[in-house]
């Protein structure tokens, strides 16, 4: 008679890993429902019991704050920009970077907007949640560095250092009019608003 195989439990998550997993499951729901989202909905999406949420979060407000912090983190945008092939033409690299940043800003705006409009004010009353490693400036620096790295292969043809050009491009993205497509934005950024005179 053969012995039954011993079943071993998978190693448990650390509290930090469990928080990250819960926030990842919660973000799409928060973007859709705002503060009306329930911890029961989040638990189902994460595939865990509702009580597990309260082992790593004091209450739903703390979870919502963590979702806002996650939405503001630049990591996803920086990773996307870093994956853009440097052998592409500069205009294509910048267009891809603009698309990655637009997606990041849209996600951040969606989560912030829906939380604010549905009554989540905790960040205004207490300590305002900040993205890691601690400030908006640090996040912008990470994104700016990623853009500068993208520009570096063409630095010899730039009028200013890649880091400075990257900051200008980043600033332009934040004030881009809705009428400008990504390709138009890049075209104006690289070549200005005046057409070249034909020879």
| pLDDT in the model for residue 84 | 96
- In angstroms, rounded to a whole number, what is the distance separating the alpha carbons of residues 152 and 157? 10
Termini Cα distance of the chain: 92
| pLDDT in the model for residue 119 | 77
pLDDT in tens, 150-194: 999 999 999 999 999 999 999 998 888 888 889 999 999 999 888
- In angstroms, rounded to a whole number, what is the distance separating the alpha carbons of residues 32 and 18? 22
Query: Are residues 147 and 166 in contact, defined by beta-carbon separation less than 8 angstroms?
Result: yes
Place of tokens 């020879």: 199
Using only C-alpha atoms, what is the Rg of the chain?
22
**pTM, 2 dp:** 0.72
Place of tokens 């880091």: 163
| pLDDT in the model for residue 135 | 64
Any residues with CB less than 8 A from the CB of 33 and at least 6 apart, and which?
Answer: 41, 114, 118
CA-nearest of 170, 142, 144, 152 to 90 is 152
pLDDT in tens, 59-118: 999 999 999 888 888 888 999 999 999 999 999 999 999 999 988 888 888 888 888 887
CA-nearest of 150, 135, 167 to 91 is 150
CA-nearest of 84, 67, 94 to 187 is 94
């Amino acid at each position: 008679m053969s012995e039954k195989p011993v079943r071993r439990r998978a190693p448990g998550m650390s509290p930090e890993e469990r928080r990250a997993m819960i926030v990842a499951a919660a973000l799409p729901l928060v973007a859709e429902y705002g503060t009306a989202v329930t911890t029961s909905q989040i638990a189902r999406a994460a595939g865990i019991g509702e009580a597990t949420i309260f082992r790593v979060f004091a209450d739903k407000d703390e979870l919502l704050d963590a979702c806002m912090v996650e939405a503001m983190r630049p990591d996803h945008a920086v990773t996307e920009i870093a994956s853009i092939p440097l052998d592409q033409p500069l205009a294509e690299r910048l267009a891809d970077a603009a698309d990655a940043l637009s997606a990041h800003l849209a996600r951040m705006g969606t989560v912030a907007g829906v939380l604010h409009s549905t009554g989540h004010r905790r960040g205004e009353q207490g300590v305002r949640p900040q993205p890691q490693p601690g400030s908006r400036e640090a996040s912008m620096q990470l994104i700016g560095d990623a853009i500068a790295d993208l520009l570096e292969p063409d630095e010899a043809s730039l009028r200013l250092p890649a880091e400075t050009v990257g900051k200008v491009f980043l600033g332009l993205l934040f004030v881009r009019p809705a009428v400008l497509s990504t390709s138009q934005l890049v075209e104006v950024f690289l070549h200005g608003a005046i057409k070249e005179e034909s020879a």
